[in-house]
Amino acid sequence: MKRALATLYLLLAALFAFAPLLFEAGEEASSPWTPFIASFHPLVLHLPIGLVAAVLALEFASIFNKHAETGARNFLWFLTALTASLSFATGYLLGEEGGYEKELLNDHLWAAGIFTSICWSTLAVNILKKNGFIRFLSLIAITATLVLASHPGGLMVHGDPFANAPWLAEEEETSPEAQYGILPLVPDPFNPYTDVVHPIIDAKCVSCHGPKKKKGKLRVDTYEALMLGGDFGPCIEPGDSYESLFVELMELPMDDEEHMPPEDEHQMTQEEIDVIKWWIDEGAKADVVMARAEAPAAILPFLVTGYRLLPEPTEEELAEAAEEEARKADEANRGNVEALLETVSAEVRDSVQFMSLTSSKLRFKPNGKAEDFDNDALEATKELVPNFVRIDLSDTAISNNALKHLKNAERLEILSLRNTEVDEDALEHLEDLENLESLNLYGTPTGDDILKELPTLPNLRTLYLGETKISTETIAKLQTKHPEVEIIGDLR
Ligand code: HEC
C-alpha cells in the first residue's frame, strides 16, 4: 500500500517537473472554462506558500523532538503538494491566455513546476523511509524553488519590490531637466522611436508607468512593455492612433478623470501628442531609421537643438527671443547698408551716421546749413530711407510734399519737423510708419485739422505741438482720441 502511494506521488512529481515543457503562451483559450478556472490562480497560489511555511516549522520542530507527529507532518505535506498542483494548473491556464512578459512567465512556470515536483517527491520519501539526509536536501530545495517561483510571479503582477527599497533611493534627482528630461540631440539618421517618442514618454509617463509604479498594470519604459499594454490589454494599435487607448486618454479633456497624465502632472504638449500619433499611424515600430532631411512635419519641432520638455515659454521670454532675433537681423544687414552708402552722393553720406558700431540703423540730419536743405535734397536720400530710425529735419526748407519720400521709412522711430513749413496736410504720408514713436511739429503752421489728419500710429507716444496754430480745445479732443500719446508744448 505504502509503495503504491509512493509510486503515485513520484509519478506526479515527474509530471510537474516536465509539464512546463508542454507550455505555450498566448494560444486561444481551449475551452470556455479556461479563463474561469485560471482566475482562481491568485487565490490558490497562496495556499502552498502558507502550508509550506507550516510544514517547514513542523520539520524544524522534529529536529529537537523525535516524536513530532509524523502523521500530521505527512498530511501537511500532502496538502502542500495538492495545493501546489492546483496553483500550478490554474497558473498554467492563466499563462496560456497571454499578456505576460515571456521571460518572467517562463521562469515562474519552471520554478513552480519543480517546487510542486519536490513537494510530491518529499511526500513519497517520507512515506517510504525516514531518510534524514534526503529530507534535509528537499527542505532546502523547496525553500529555494518557492523563492524562485514567487519572485518572477510577483514581478509580473506587482512590479519589482526592490525598486522601492529605501537604500536604493538615495540618488533621487530633482532638477527640472531630471524631472522632465531634455531631448538629447537628434542624430542623423535617427530612429523616431528611440530618439523622439521614447524620451517624451519617459519624461511624462514613466513616473507612474515604470519600474517603480505600475499604474493600471501598464509599463511604458521599454518598447516591449509599452506594446504589451495594461489592464485593458494593448493600448497602442499600430497603424491606428485613433483606436489607441494611449492617445485617447491623452486627448480627453483635462477635467475628465481618466485624462492622462493626471491633471496635476506635467502635461503633454500638442506637438508631443502629434508626434506620438504620427509614430503610431506609421506602424509604431522601434526599428525604423530615417534621415533628418526626410523628417515629416510632425517631427520637425523635435529636431530643434535642445528642445525642452518644459512648460511653454512665457510672453516675456518670447519677446526677448524676438528682440534678439531682430538684433541679429539688424547686424546681418550692416554690410548691405555700408555698400549702399558707397552709391549715394558725398553730401548725403555726410548727413548720415550709423546708430552703433554693429547696427545697420541710420540717423539722418542734414550736414551744413539747414535752410539750404529742401525737398530735392531729401529725395536724394531715397535709397537710404528704409534704414533711417531717426530723422531730424528741423529748420530746413522742406514742405508738405517732401514727406512722401518717407513713406517707406519702416524703421523710423523719431521724426523732427520742428520749425518747418510742414502742416497737418503732410501727415497722411506717415500713416504706414508703424515704428514711429515721436513726432515733433513744434513751431510749424499746423492747425486744428490735425484732429482728422493725424493717422493712428500704433507706437506713437510723444507729440510736440508747441508754437503751432492748434487751439486748446482741439488739443483736448486730440488727447481723448489718442490717449496713449503724450502731447507736449506751450499750449494756448
Ligand atoms: C501620476 C501618475 C500617472 C502618470 C504621470 C500617468 N499615469 Fe497613466 N495611469 C495612472 C493611473 C492611476 C492609472 C490607472 C487608472 C485606473 O486603473 O482606473 C493609469 C492608467 C493608464 C492607462 C490605462 C492602462 C490600462 O490598460 O488600464 C493608460 C493607457 C495610461 N495610463 C497612459 C498614460 C500616459 C500616456 C501617460 C503619460 C502621458 C500617463 N499615463 C501618465 C497614473 C498615471
Q: Cβ(353)–Cβ(363) under 8 Å?
A: yes
Contacts of 371 (CB under 8 A, 6+ apart): 395, 396, 397
Query: Using one digit for the tens of pLDDT, what is the confidence trace for 437-485?
Result: 999 999 999 999 999 999 999 999 999 999 999 998 999 999 999 999 9
Domain ranges of the chain: 2-158, 176-303, 332-488
Please tell me the distance from the alpha carbon of residue 384 to that of residue 194, in angstroms, as a whole number: 53
Question: How is residue 289 written as a grid cell?
Answer: 531609421
Residue 162 has pLDDT above 80, yes or no: no
Query: Using one digit for the tens of pLDDT, what is the confidence trace for 333-392?
Result: 999 999 999 998 888 899 999 999 999 999 999 988 888 899 988 898 999 999 999 999
Residue 323 has pLDDT above 70, yes or no: yes
- Among 410, 391, 404, 402, which residue's Cα sits nearest to residue 458? 410
Contacts of 459 (CB under 8 A, 6+ apart): 413, 434, 435, 436, 437
Residue 20: predicted pLDDT: 86
Nearest-CA residue for atom 21 of ligand 1: 216
140, exposed or middle or buried, with CB in 10 Å at 0-12, 13-18, 19+?
exposed
**Pocket lined around ligand 1, Cβ cut-off 6 Å:** 204-205, 207-209, 215-216, 218, 229-232, 235, 245-246, 249-250, 260-262, 265, 268
Q: Cβ(380)–Cβ(352) under 8 Å?
A: no
Split at pLDDT 50, 70, 90, the class of 266 is confident
The gap from C-alpha 224 to its chain's centroid, in whole angstroms, comes to 21
472, exposed or middle or buried, with CB in 10 Å at 0-12, 13-18, 19+?
exposed
Split at pLDDT 50, 70, 90, the class of 322 is confident
Report H helices in 313-445. 315-332, 334-343, 346-351, 375-379
Q: What values do phi and psi take at 487, rounded to 5?
A: -100, 125
Nearest-CA residue for atom 33 of ligand 1: 260
Out of 197, 208, 270, mutate this one to test ligand 1's pocket (max ligand atoms within 8 Å of CB): namely 208
Specify the amino acid at residue 443: G
Residue 131: predicted pLDDT: 66
Q: Cβ(48)–Cβ(153) under 8 Å?
A: no
Q: Cβ(247)–Cβ(239) under 8 Å?
A: no
| CATH superfamily for domain 332-488 | Ribonuclease Inhibitor (3.80.10.10)
How far, in Å, are 102, 158, 346, 367 from residue 93 at the CA level? 15, 19, 96, 98
Query: Using one digit for the tens of pLDDT, what is the confidence trace for 33-46?
Result: 877 888 788 888 88
Q: How far is the CA of 211 from the centre of ligand 1 (A)?
A: 14
Rounded mean pLDDT of 390-398? 94
